[in-house]
Amino acid sequence: MNGEMFRKTTKGTPQGGNLSPLLANIYLNELDKLLTQRGHQFVRYADDCNIYVKSKRAGERVLRNVTIFLENKLELTINRHKTTVGSPLRLKFLGFTLGVDRNGAYARPHKVVKQRIKQALKIMTGRSRGISWLMLMKEIKQKMRGWLQYYGIGKMKTFIQQLDQWLRSRIRQLIWKRWKKIKTRYRELIKLGMTPEQAKTNANTRKGYWRTAHSKTLTYTYTNQKLERLGLINLSKTLQQIQSA
């Protein structure tokens, strides 16, 4: 792409094609050998590489040397904006960063990745979307199963529990919005087990959609179990199944 315009490729391989990472691995094998000979700890996936050293000063020195090797020996161009020296506890690699506890280092989804998935779910569950419940639940399930399959090797139990709670609130909010009229809300609350008096009081509430989603009006009637029967994926259970498989 040239800006927003597509141009026919006259050389190289298509971006995202299966051949690209294979050719990158063959060509960058020389880099792997160099780093191994110098005793560096590193991890590389196609053209994305992290080299681990003991200090920032050492990192800057290694970066200079590797840049010279890649640009002069292999005739590659280094992306100066994405290439940096920093802490593995903050930098992102393949969507992950590292955390440390008393048991040592562990992988976890980077904060940017967490923000993006929450934003994607927010768009999916937007109040103005005209989509059936069946399609919405299927869309969320497909998105989150794929996401959890990829990031499931990381430590994120607390984040997923919080995302579960937030997503349920988004769905309850959407339910309340779609009921629209007071008589519809009254009828539906009766179906969910409220007495006529309770249903009348709650159907006439002046609370906003988000407040109502967190109130007893919906948390006691549209329980987590009922949301699952509606088709909503249980993220915590799904993550547990993936990690224990």
Four-residue CA torsion sign, 36, 38, 43, 47: negative
Distance CA 183, CA 165 (A): 28
Q: What is the pLDDT of residue 160?
A: 97
Q: What is the pLDDT of residue 154?
A: 93
Residue whose entry in the numeric block shows the structure tokens 């051949």:
19
Q: What is the pLDDT of residue 12?
A: 73
Q: What is the pLDDT of residue 2?
A: 77
Q: What is the pLDDT of residue 47?
A: 85
Adjacent-strand bridge partners of 43: 50
Beta strands per DSSP E along 128-193 = none
Please list the pLDDT of the chain residue by residue as tens digits (245 residues).
Answer: 777 888 777 777 777 778 888 888 999 999 999 999 999 999 998 888 999 999 999 999 999 999 999 999 999 888 888 888 999 899 999 999 999 999 898 999 999 999 999 999 999 999 888 889 999 999 999 999 999 999 999 999 999 999 999 999 999 999 999 998 999 999 999 998 899 999 999 999 989 999 999 998 899 899 999 999 999 999 999 999 999 87
Q: What is the pLDDT of residue 143?
A: 96
CA angle 18, 40, 35 (to 5 degrees): 50
Q: What is the pLDDT of residue 79?
A: 85
Distance CA 98, CA 155 (A): 10
Instruction: Give yes or no for a contact between 234 and 227, defined as CB atoms under 8 angstroms apart.
Output: no
pTM of the model: 0.81
First-to-final CA distance of the chain? 41
Q: Calculate helix-pair angle for 29-37, 19-27, nearest 10 degrees.
A: 40
